[in-house]
Copies of this chain bind each other. A is one copy, B any other.
Amino acid sequence: MAKQERAIRTRNALVESAAALFDRDGFEVASLATISARAGVSSGALHFHFPSKAALADAVVAAAGERLVRITREREALPLQTVIDASHELVQCLRSDAVLRAGFDLSAAPERARTARDLRRQWREWVESLVLRSEQAGLLAPDVAARDVAAAVVAVAAGHEALGHQDPSWLERAPLTRFWAFVLPRVVGAARVGLFVASGDPEAEPAPAPVAETGAVPGTGAAPETGAVPGARTATAPEPAPGPGVAAEARP
């Protein structure tokens, strides 16, 4: 294995390990010794790549930002359907990907993590731009404002994320599908509800999964080692999407 390739693998393993421990124990409590041990590298190697815990936090947020860019990519769909699809993908990824989860947490607590990048803002601005495009295309109901739709979507996604910390069922596909089925008639008008799939487009390609650079630290949410909260924050097998029937139910 080339030297450079090995360095990239080591760095990625450290980022995954730091994310899993920040996510499980919090930024302040997670120790550099545990992070390097979990990544299977020496503490010297850790310090070679990251001079401080704050630098590790920055790297976790940057990696989460790259995943958010994949989630919010353009799709071959109506702009609002792209928002629906991405909202499902974001919530699914928050359930299964410790890097994304720790990155959102770190970037939401600037006073603690000293990191500059703002993932929530990145997500919010993307949602706003797509909803605005829907409005400009005449695809929103005439008596709703694009910014109110965007604010509701951003708040609901943040709410599912926050509630999912304690009760992972909020991060399943069904609750967000019910939200979209509930809100779509108001957003687009009853006549256009049939254009949209509340459960997310089942034909949409899932975003390419982040490539695990080492087998040591899987990208899925760290299996709880404390045993304190069984099931909480653990990745579970995705349930089958309820499919377009859910959107159809919402037709008045």
Q: Which residues of A contact B (CB under 8 A)?
A: 24, 26, 28-29, 108-112, 118, 120, 143-145, 147-149, 151-152, 154-163, 165-166, 170, 175, 178-179, 181-183, 185-186, 224, 226, 228-229, 232, 250, 252
Contacts and interface: CB of A to CB of B under 8 A. Distances in A.
Contacts of A186: 182-183, 185-186
Given A108-B166, A110-B228, 16 more contacts: A26-B26, A108-B162, A120-B163, A120-B166, A143-B185, A145-B182, A147-B178, A148-B182, A151-B179, A152-B182, A155-B155, A155-B170, A158-B163, A159-B162, A161-B162, A182-B186
Q: How often does this chain occur in the complex, in copies?
A: 2
Contacts of A120: 163, 166
Contact of A165 (B109, B151, B152): B109
Contact of A155 (B29, B149, B151, B179): B179
A110 to B, nearest CB: 6
A109 to B, nearest CB: 7
Contacts of A26: 26, 28, 112
